[in-house]
A and B are shown apart, each in its own frame.
Chain A
Amino acid sequence: MVNKMKEIIQLALRNLSRQKRRSVMLAVAIGFGFFVVTAIDGLATGALGNLENQITQLIGGTVFIQGSERGPATDKDSKGKLITVIRDPVYIRSLLEKNNIKYSYASQYTSSSGQLLFNAKRVIVSLMGRNFDEETHLVSSFQVLSGDLKNLSQKGALVLSKKTADSLNMQVGDSVLYTTQTMNGQNTVGEFTLVAIIKDAGLMSSMSAYVRQDTLNELLEMPENAYDTFAIVLADRKQQNNVAARIEQLIRNDGNPVTSRMEAFKANPQNPSVAIRKQLKNSEWKGTKYTVLSLNDILPQLNQILSVVHIVTLVILLVILIIVMVGISNTYRMILYERIREIGTMRALGMTGKDTGMVFTTEALVLSLGGALAGFVLGIIGMVIFGLFHFNSDTMSFFLNNGHATFVLSPVSIIGQYILMIVLTLFAVHSTAKKASTISPATALRTVK
């Protein structure tokens, strides 16, 4: 059986080499299709991955737990102002540890948005109050361009991205005002000293500025150990929805008020985080009400875009393959006619009809697989070369990693594309192979070309 298969493959390869130009042209057509699809799929997935990385870096994780309190009602129709704060410094962390929820790292931070004001220049930033002593992963990720991270221990220490520092024309050692609102929504201002300027990985990360958490808490009039977000980064991002659901249930089981992701998905499947905000707005509770969200909940568009990219590339591949398969089908009909007497001779020497058909099918499959493999390899080479270019565009920087395009290939998607191609190839040569297998040796030998 193995020997027979080997012989069939050898025969198929020999046949392909007899008409090299024709075989190469067909393989190139298939290869081009796979090159285009691999490049689009890989670069688009890489671009969205970079965007997700930047957002993860900006907001500190892939699963987020926040706490909300109701301020005192101001009149009978009011439910009281929503205040985002978690006062218990250990509850969430111990809950995750107790229930063995694994993560790469966690941040327990305070965030605020406001304006930096320096010499009449203003820049809007997202100011992150981080615990630099504990968050070594964050500090080690800073690529310092000027200044010294040792000065992070200073009370009013500020770390800015190069882009923000340049916008304000600030140098290390300069003092800057930061205007924002306190936890209770009242206007306030703080003064910080720039201790380090760091390299920004993209436009989004450049919008973040970092200060000590205790300093920011004081400015926002939050208790010293309080924070507004507990963010965890998972080793496997695909688990973010499952982990978020589990944490939400654990908080609920503990008897604490918590918003419902499931209800949010029912109410607004396109944007559950909006529905979560509505849940908070419309409900009343005592103490802290927790909200658990995954990055997918906050930015469902990322997955939607990725799905659209996969569908578009699949359609492109399908169109290219159908065109090529029409060519293959016609070519093999022609080949059958060209080799009809050869088929008759082989059949007369004892080759079965089934084996004759198998030669045609194998030939087409080898051609397709070879072309696809070449296209795939060329696609990777193309993407690697494209990734060497540096782009300075602000708009594009959302999708780049340090100014460079990156690519990510999905094994499932690639395997799916190969299966599709094999099925179409089998379909394209089916009638030719069937005809070759059913033709009698006498008829074949009698045929005059």
Chain B
Amino acid sequence: MKINKTILFAACGFFALPLFADSADVPVAKDISEKAFTIMESTEDILAYQGDYSATVSLVVEKPGKPKENMQYKMFERIDSDQFTMVQLFPEADKGNGWLRDGDNIWSYDPIGRKFTHTSLKDALGDSDVKVDDMKKGKSKWRKNYEVTGFSEEKLGSYDVYVITLHAITTEPSYIKTTYYIRKDIPLVLKQENFSGSGRLMRKILMPKYTKVPQGYVATQAILRNELNPGEQTQQVVSDLTFDKLPDRIFTKAYLEGLN
């Protein structure tokens, strides 16, 4: 199957990307830490992704020395039960490739061979730009997995932002250190920076555009930039968002098989 898993899960993680930051490896004072965690939790509360939703995700992948690649997917997700279905729409050659997620299990579907291949969430994300904790939801993850090592207020473009740096204290987070830039007026993450243990910037996610829907905010544009390979980035644009209840059959193998 030609589909690039990296891009696929980048798209998938984009919806779940909760929040994000900078550094100093010494924990901040308790009251500052409490404030930072409260802000991090509020970035999740404000997002529209509760219950069911569907969307079309368009990706433009740029790699140095290679022509741009365009891809498009239709996504369906049921947040409450960790269910997820995605079907590739473009390019034509890969049309019909599908993915089905139920909890930590993922099946990929090859419409030509009409076969499902099972993989775990961790395996699937292993070689992608999106990491396991990008996919995880739940406000408790912040306090459980991180300590706050940096907190400041700065300006990002025209926005006043909180700059919060979190240091992993468990093995769950995919990066040891992450800095999040969060708008002060509305707790939306505008930028996320992931660092290695030695403090080198590895990945940057920019979320310049949010759309307000009745259920909350949706990041309709995101740019995932590989900071280790200058020029390599993936742009994601989300459109056709709906938050209606989705039929159960969408989250079944039969649904993917029936599309072809």
Contacts and interface: CB of A to CB of B under 8 A. Distances in A.
Contact of A74 (B64, B65, B144, B176): B144
B228 A188 contact: no
A120 B63 contact: yes
Contacts of A122: 229
Interface string B185-199: 000000000101110
Nearest to A83: B171
Contact of A187 (B63, B65, B194, B231): B194
B137 interface: no
Contact of B197 (A83, A117, A182, A185): A182
A416 interface: no
Interface in A363-406: none
A122 B229 CA distance: 10
Contacts of A182: 176, 197
B171 A120 contact: no
A186 B64 contact: no
Contacts of A179: 202, 228
B229 A120 contact: yes
Nearest to A178: B228
A293 B256 CA distance: 42
A148 to B, nearest CB: 27
Interface residues of A, number: 20
A165 B65 CA distance: 19
A117 B231 contact: no
Contacts of A219: 197-198
B228 A189 contact: yes
A122 B64 CA distance: 12
A71 interface: yes
A256 interface: no
A187 B172 contact: no
Contacts of B230: 120
B196 A81 contact: no
Interface string A184-214: 1111111000000000000000000000000
Contact of A188 (B64, B172, B197): B197
Interface in B189-222: 194, 196-198, 200, 202-203
Nearest to B230: A120
Contact of A120 (B64, B172, B174): B64
Interface in B125-141: 131
A188 B194 contact: no
B232 A185 contact: no
A83 B171 CA distance: 10
Give chain B's interface residue range (CB within 8 Å of chain A): 20 to 34
B251 to A, nearest CB: 22
A117 B232 CA distance: 12
B174 A187 contact: yes
Contacts of A83: 171
B198 A186 contact: no
B161 interface: no
Interface string A120-162: 1010000000000000000000000000000000000000000
B65 A188 contact: no
Interface in B111-132: 131
A334 B257 CA distance: 71
B20 to A, nearest CB: 15
A284 interface: no
B18 interface: no
B98 interface: no
Given A72-B170, A74-B144, A120-B63, A186 B231 contact: no
Contacts of B144: 74
Nearest to A182: B197
A259 B92 CA distance: 49
A221 interface: yes
Given A179-B202, A186-B168, A117 B229 contact: yes
Contacts of B173: 186
A74 B169 CA distance: 11
Contacts of B198: 188-190, 219
B243 interface: no
B228 A120 contact: no
Given A117-B228, A120-B232, A185 B63 contact: no
Contacts of B53: none
Given A120-B64, A120-B232, A179-B202, A187 B175 contact: yes
Given A117-B228, A120-B229, A182-B176, A189 B196 contact: yes
Nearest to B231: A120
Nearest to A179: B228
A14 to B, nearest CB: 70
A184 B194 CA distance: 16
A179 to B, nearest CB: 6
A177 interface: yes
B171 A189 contact: no
A223 B221 CA distance: 42
Contacts of B200: 189
B197 A186 contact: yes
A92 B229 CA distance: 41
B1 to A, nearest CB: 19
18 contacts: A72-B171, A74-B144, A74-B170, A117-B228, A120-B63, A120-B64, A185-B171, A186-B174, A186-B176, A186-B197, A187-B194, A188-B196, A188-B198, A189-B200, A189-B228, A190-B198, A219-B198, A221-B176
Given A74-B170, A190-B198, 20 more contacts: A81-B171, A117-B229, A120-B229, A120-B231, A120-B232, A179-B202, A184-B171, A185-B174, A186-B174, A187-B196, A187-B202, A187-B203, A188-B196, A188-B198, A189-B198, A189-B200, A189-B202, A189-B228, A219-B197, A221-B197
The 3 closest A-B pairs by CB, nearest first: A120-B64, A184-B171, A188-B196
